[in-house]
Structure 1
Amino acid sequence: MLFAHDTECGLVAAAALVNTAGPDREGLPDVAALDEFFTAYGWTGRHEHTEAELREVRALRPRLRQIWYADTDEVVAVVNGLLRESHALPQLVRHDDEPYHLHAVPRDAPLATRMAVEAAMALADLVRMDELSRLRRCDHPDCENVLVDLSKNRSRRFCDAGCGNRAAVSAYRARKAASHS
Structure 2
Amino acid sequence: MIFTDDTDEALRAAVALVNSAEPVDAFDLEAFLTQHPYTGRIDRDETELAELRALRPRLREMLLAPRNEMAPRVNDALARVTLSPRLARHDGADWHLHAIADDRPLAERILVETAMALIDVIRSREGSRLTVCADDDCRAIALDLSRNRSKRYCSTTCANRNAVAAYRARQGAGT
TM-score (norm 2): 0.94
CA distance in 2, matches of 1:3, 1:64: 19
Matches within 5 A, 1:107-146: 107-146=102-141
1:114-149: per-residue Cα shift (whole Å, max 9, x none)? Answer: 110111100111101111111111101000010211
**Residue 86 of structure 1: how far off its partner (Å):** 1.9
The residue type paired with residue 172 of structure 1 is: Y
The residue identity in structure 2 corresponding to 1:117 is V
CA shift at 1:161, angstroms? 5.3
- Deviation at 1:44? 2.1
Q: Is there any run of 5+ residues in structure 1 with no aligned partner, and where?
A: none
**Aligned residues of 2:84 and 2:101 also touching (Cα < 8 A):** no
| Equivalent residue number for residue 8 of structure 1 | 8
2:2–2:147 CA contact under 8 A, matched in 1: yes
Task: Tell me if 1:167 matches 2:157.
Answer: no
Which letter maps to 1:79? V
Indicate which of 139, 146, 149 corresponds to 1:151.
146
Q: 1:14-66: per-residue Cα shift (whole Å, max 9, x none)?
A: 111110113x50022xxxx1122112112222110110001111111001111
How far off is 1:178 after superposition?
1.2
Is the 2:48–2:106 contact (alpha carbons within 8 Å) kept by the matching residues of 1? yes
Under a length normalisation based on structure 1, what TM-score does the superposition of the two structures give? 0.91
Q: How far off is 1:89 after superposition?
A: 3.1
Q: % of aligned pairs identical?
A: 47
| Structure 2 residue 45 is matched with structure 1 residue 50 | yes
- In structure 2, stretches of 5+ residues that fail to align are none
- Give the aligned partner of residue 21 of structure 1: 21
Partner of 1:86: 81
